[in-house]
C-alpha cells in the first residue's frame, strides 16, 4: 500500500480528493490542511518529513487569492514558489513522487490557439509569477517521478468559487453583469481529482513533465454564468460586460484555453465536456442543501 500526502486538504481539489479516496483502497492517504502542514512555515515543512514518510505528495496547496496577491507578494511567493522548491528537494532526497498543481495564469493570455505545455510562459501578475516560479523551481531541482498539472477556472461543490457565487448572486439580483471577453474552459475539481488518482500509479519519468488539464470545450465567463442559471432554473438576466468595465487589482488572461492532447494521449484519458461536469456539480450542490 502506497502512502500519499495530500496538501491543501480543505481546498476545492483537496476536498474532492478526500471525497474520492475510499474508492482507491490501494493507497493510504494523509490529508494535511494548513494547521498541520503550513507551506508558509518552511522550517516546519522539513521537520514534517523527518517524522512522516510518504511515497507520493499531491500538492494542492497554494496561495490563490489572485487580487490580494498583488499587495501580499511575500506570502504568495513563500507558498507558491519557495515552499514548492523545498518540496521538490525533499521529493528528490527521499525518493518521493510529486504531483504539483499549477495554473493557466503562467501564460499572458494573448494566444490565438490553445496553449501547449512548451509555449513560453509570461505571467502578468503576482499570482501567476509566483506559480510560474514554483514550476521553474521544480524543473531546476528535477526530481524523478514528478509531474506538474496546469489547470484553469476550477470550481467544486466545496469552497468558494464562480459557480457558487453565481448561484448566490442569481437568487439575490434580477440582473448581473458578467465578463464576456475572457475565454477559457472551466475545470470541475472532481474530474481533476479523478485524473490525478488514475495517473498516480502510471508515473514513471526520470525528469519532471508538464501537462495541461481542464474540461473540454471553450466558453466565456458570461456563457458560464448563463449555463449555471439555465441549469439551475434561476431567472436572472445576465448582461455581457468587458474586462475594463470590471477593473481588478490583478489582470486576468483574456485567453486561457489549454491544449490537453499530451495528457490524453500519454495516459489514455477521456475528459468530460464542461457542461456535463457542471450538471454533475450542480447536483452535488443541490444534494448538499437537502
Q: Which residues of 126-141 are buried (b: 16+ CB within 10 A; e: fewer)?
A: bbbbbbbbbbebbbeb
Active-site amino acid positions: 127
All three cell numbers of 21: 479516496
Distance between CA atoms of residues 112 and 120, nearest Å = 14
Using an 8 Å Cβ cutoff, are 97 and 56 in contact? yes
Give the distance from CA 150 to its chain's centroid. Answer: 7
DSSP letter (8 states) at residue 70: G
DSSP letter (8 states) at residue 114: P
Closest CA to 255 of 125, 151, 114, 127: 114
Distance between CA atoms of residues 231 and 246, nearest Å = 25
Closest CA to 99 of 174, 187, 13: 13
Question: Helix, strand, or coil here: 27?
Answer: strand
Using an 8 Å Cβ cutoff, are 208 and 140 in contact? no
Amino acid at each position: 500500500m502506497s502512502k500519499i500526502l495530500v496538501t491543501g486538504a480543505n481546498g476545492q481539489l483537496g476536498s474532492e480528493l478526500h471525497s474520492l479516496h475510499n474508492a482507491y483502497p490501494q493507497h493510504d492517504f494523509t490529508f494535511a490542511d494548513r494547521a498541520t502542514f503550513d507551506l508558509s512555515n518552511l522550517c516546519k515543512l522539513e521537520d514534517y518529513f523527518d517524522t512522516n514518510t510518504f511515497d507520493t505528495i499531491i500538492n494542492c496547496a497554494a496561495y490563490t487569492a489572485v487580487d490580494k496577491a498583488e499587495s501580499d507578494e511575500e506570502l504568495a511567493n513563500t507558498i507558491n514558489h519557495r515552499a514548492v522548491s523545498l518540496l521538490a528537494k525533499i521529493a528528490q532526497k527521499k525518493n518521493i513522487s510529486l504531483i504539483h498543481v499549477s495554473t493557466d495564469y503562467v501564460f499572458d493570455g494573448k494566444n490565438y490557439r490553445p496553449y501547449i505545455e512548451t509555449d513560453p510562459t509570461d505571467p502578468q501578475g503576482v499570482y501567476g509569477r509566483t506559480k510560474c516560479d514554483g514550476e521553474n523551481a521544480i524543473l531546476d531541482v528535477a526530481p524523478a517521478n514528478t509531474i506538474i498539472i496546469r489547470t484553469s477556472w476550477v470550481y467544486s461543490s466545496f469552497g468558494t468559487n464562480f459557480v457558487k457565487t453565481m448561484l448566490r448572486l442569481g437568487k439575490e439580483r434580477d440582473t448581473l453583469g458578467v465578463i464576456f471577453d475572457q475565454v477559457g474552459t472551466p475545470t470541475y475539481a472532481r474530474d481533476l481529482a479523478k485524473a490525478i488518482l488514475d495517473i498516480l500509479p502510471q508515473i514513471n519519468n526520470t525528469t519532471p513533465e508538464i501537462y495541461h488539464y481542464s474540461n473540454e470545450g471553450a466558453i466565456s465567463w458570461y456563457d458560464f454564468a448563463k449555463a449555471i442559471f439555465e441549469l439551475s432554473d434561476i431567472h436572472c438576466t445576465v448582461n455581457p460586460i468587458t474586462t475594463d468595465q470590471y477593473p481588478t487589482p490583478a489582470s486576468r488572461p483574456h485567453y486561457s484555453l489549454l491544449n490537453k492532447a499530451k495528457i490524453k494521449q500519454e495516459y489514455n484519458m477521456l475528459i468530460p465536456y464542461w457542461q456535463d461536469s457542471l450538471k454533475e456539480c450542480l447536483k452535488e450542490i443541490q444534494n448538499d442543501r437537502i
